Structure 1
Amino acid sequence: MLLTIDTPEAMAELGARLAGQVRAGDLVTLNGELGAGKTTLTRGLGEALGVRGAVTSPTFVLARTHPRVDGPPLVHVDAYRLSSAVELDDLDIDFAASVVVVEWGEGLLDGITDEWLQLDIVRPVGGVVTDDGVEARTVTVTGHGPRWADLGWLAAHGA
């Protein structure tokens, strides 16, 4: 499914819509260049899930666990410096009991899971800039495995 996301607020809203779908054991990968909106989407997801504290980029710590008052924790991973699924697995994340979002996760899921939701975010270079200085992003959403075969929830929410 292809989406156009016009503003950072709309990217956070996409994360909030995703919050209504995720459960313990779910893995979401976010791919896109620096500044594409990966952390903004994760922040919207975390706020909608009701995590304690602010969702910030885990760039320097690789992974942050955000506990929730009610429900599985959100684990936010920055895999930019990881080179294999083994290194991702070495982070000792409890994938089965958490909602896990992996930024820069493309190609790192071999042996981790057979089911995941992949969002590829493209920020245009030399694209049309709005009066606010924001360029629209194109987000390609791909479900892998039976868990994510139905992406109708995106269309049902006006995406």
Structure 2
Amino acid sequence: MGSYTTLTVPTPEQMNGLGTRLAGLLRPGDLVLLSGELGAGKTTLTRGLGVGLGVRGAVTSPTFVIARVHPSLVGGPALVHVDAYRLGGGLDEMEDLDLDVSLPESVVVVEWGEGKVEDLSENRLEVRIERALGGAEADADASVDGPDPRRVVLNGLGSRWDGVDLAVLDAR
């Protein structure tokens, strides 16, 4: 069964806040798959997760290192932040990364993981971030400094997410 909700997130600051609130629902062993176009807000959301989980180190895009481990400063789970964009083989390559952390004891966030890491767990939270104002005409209407809201679709799959009310993440 799982859980499902859709949120509108107007600003990067609020995307960061969503990540911080989402951290409160996560526990060791959780897998979070983030999808969305370049610049959608995946790393911004993950930065908020890092704040909420109380981890060490600045959360930045792991594009060039593929994976970055942020240990907890508060006795909670480590945050493992993975960029799967260049991973072709999925799970096997993840294991080859030789991460100095136990994945079952960590919160694992994978950007660009669609079609690559779903086999990691039947229990996972899929987060899709889309521009709320789609299309070229919307881009032409928005001022350079104007709002660029995002539509965030959260889909908790598997028994881990049964009965979890993802709607509590809405800041409104």
Q: Same fold (TM over 0.5)?
A: yes
Partner in structure 2 of residue 101 of structure 1: 109
Matches of 2:143 and 2:159, distance apart in 1: 38
Residue 9 of structure 2 is aligned to residue 5 of structure 1: yes
1:15-30, aligned counterparts within 5 Å? 15-30=19-34
Residue 168 of structure 2 corresponds to residue 156 of structure 1: yes
Report 1:103-142 matches (<5 A): 103-123=111-131, 124-126=134-136, 127=138, 129=142, 132-142=145-155
Task: State the Cα distance separating 1:16 from its structure 2 match.
Answer: 0.8
Task: Say how many residue pairs are matched.
Answer: 158
Rounded to whole Å, the distance in 2 between the matches of 1:114 and 1:25 is 12
Q: Is the 8 A contact 2:18 2:169 kept in 1?
A: no
Which residue pairs with 2:159 in the alignment?
Answer: 146
TM-score, length-scaled by structure 2: 0.84
Matches within 5 A, 1:48-63: 48-63=52-67
Is residue 2:86 matched to residue 1:81? yes
- Mapped partners of 1:121, 1:90: distance in 2: 28
The SS at the match of 2:38 is coil
CA distance in 2, matches of 1:149, 1:3: 19
Q: Which structure 2 segments of 5+ residues have no match?
A: none
Instruction: Report the AA paired with residue 134 of structure 1.
Output: P
CA contact (8 A) 1:12 1:42 kept: yes
Give 2:96's aligned residue: 90
Question: How much has 1:77 moved relative to structure 2?
Answer: 0.4
The root-mean-square deviation of aligned C-alpha atoms, in Å, is 1.8
Q: CA deviation at 1:110?
A: 4.1
8 A Cα contact 1:88 1:108, kept in partner: no
Aligned residue for 1:143, secondary structure, equals strand
1:138, distance to aligned residue in structure 2 (A)? 1.0
Alignment-mate amino acid for residue 152 of structure 2: V
TM-score in terms of structure 1 length: 0.90
- Rg larger in 1 or in 2? 2
Larger RCO (CA under 8 A, 6+ residues apart): 2
Q: How far did 1:130 drift?
A: 6.3
Provide the residue aligned with 1:65 in structure 2. Answer: 69
> 3-state DSSP class of the match of 1:111?
helix
1:156: how far off? 2.6
